[in-house]
Amino acid sequence: MEIEKRKPFMLALKGMAMGMAEVVPGVSGGTIAFITGIYEKLIDSIKSFDGKAIQLLFSGRWKALWDHVNGSFLLTLMIGMLGGVVIGVFGISHLMETRPEMLWAFFFGLIIASAIYVGKQVKKWNVSVIALLVIGALLAFWITQVTPTEASTNPLYVFLCGMIAISALILPGISGSFIMLLMGMYTVIIPMLKSLIKDLDFSVLGTLSIFGIGCIVGLLTFSRVMSWMFKNYSDQTLGLLSGFMIGSLFKIWPWRNPDSWMDNSGKLMNADQVAQLPESMTEHIRIISELNVMPSQYSAGNPQTILVIVSAVVGFAIVFLLDRYVGGDTPAG
């Protein structure tokens, strides 16, 4: 009975962890869903918003509709996720500015352990599983090398960004925030969320609503694809997801030196050009690519090598602690 009472609280915590992860470019909420054992239940619940759900809605059979879409599960998870997003927008954003090396190291260790964990769910390794693991790793690595585009608030573009970025919620290893960064929307949506939460600026609701509708459409579409893949090609899907996680590691290496910048006009700049700018103008340029380096080559400050290693170990260990103490349904069924 005590365990049953704790289930909603533990589910909300899992949602909170997913929400925090989604705010960080390079980390996927889908990864958190997987290692906490709610992955397949999540995509099946999302997929249940179908023709039958619409029929139940218009016939006024509210209880049947609630049960059909697994409403209690989704509502509890969403409440946790919303809390996690708020924490992430302010707390994790602050850590990214003040302790980036330790934060990235934590997620680096977490994702290494997650890739191992997902790989262990494969029942039979064969050529197709290994091939998809390699393809997934190469695809994720390629995505991390793409140069970010400039932001646009065109409604259609915002809608498409929402559709694509939310796919990471149910695709471990691919970060929705990083996809947003690549499409130029991270620097639009995150400040808008901050403005809405902190200052109650309702003028941003239009753009956020369009982005949210895109997210809903993307979720309903992609959940069906993932559900079908798990039911028909479970081992191959797990191999692909493991590859995505491995390939994403390049993006979250703790020590990275800036390599190229972009000014407000969209002009690319190198280190020499940035060095020649007056200090007042450097506030208006942003880093768009970085080079992974060893601690001795790190130029952005103290590499804090020991603390970074400890953070990575903690991230690695927490995956297996989550599996042991708060894991739910078996991920691969």
User: Angle of helix 205-232 relative to helix 155-166, nearest 10 degrees?
Assistant: 40
- What six digits make up the tokens of 314? 């903690």
Tens digit of each residue's pLDDT (9 = 90 or more) over 88-123: 777 776 777 788 888 889 888 888 887 888 888 899
Report, as an integer, the average pLDDT of 296-321.
88
d(CA 322, CA 328): 10
Give residue 166's pLDDT.
Answer: 80
Q: What counts of helices (H) and strands (E) characterise the chain?
A: 16, 3
Give residue 282's pLDDT.
Answer: 63
Across the chain, mean pLDDT equals: 80
Task: Judge contact between 69 and 41, C-beta under 8 A.
Answer: no
Give residue 77's pLDDT.
Answer: 92
pTM over 0.85: no
User: SS3 of 291, please?
Assistant: strand
- What six digits make up the tokens of 213? 């509708």
Give residue 330's pLDDT.
Answer: 40
d(CA 95, CA 93): 5
Tens digit of each residue's pLDDT (9 = 90 or more) over 140-198: 888 777 666 666 678 888 898 888 878 766 776 666 766 776 677 777 787 788 788 77
Tens digit of each residue's pLDDT (9 = 90 or more) over 15-55: 898 888 777 665 677 778 877 778 888 888 888 888 888 89
Confidence of residue 312 (pLDDT cuts 50, 70, 90): very high
d(CA 174, CA 165): 9
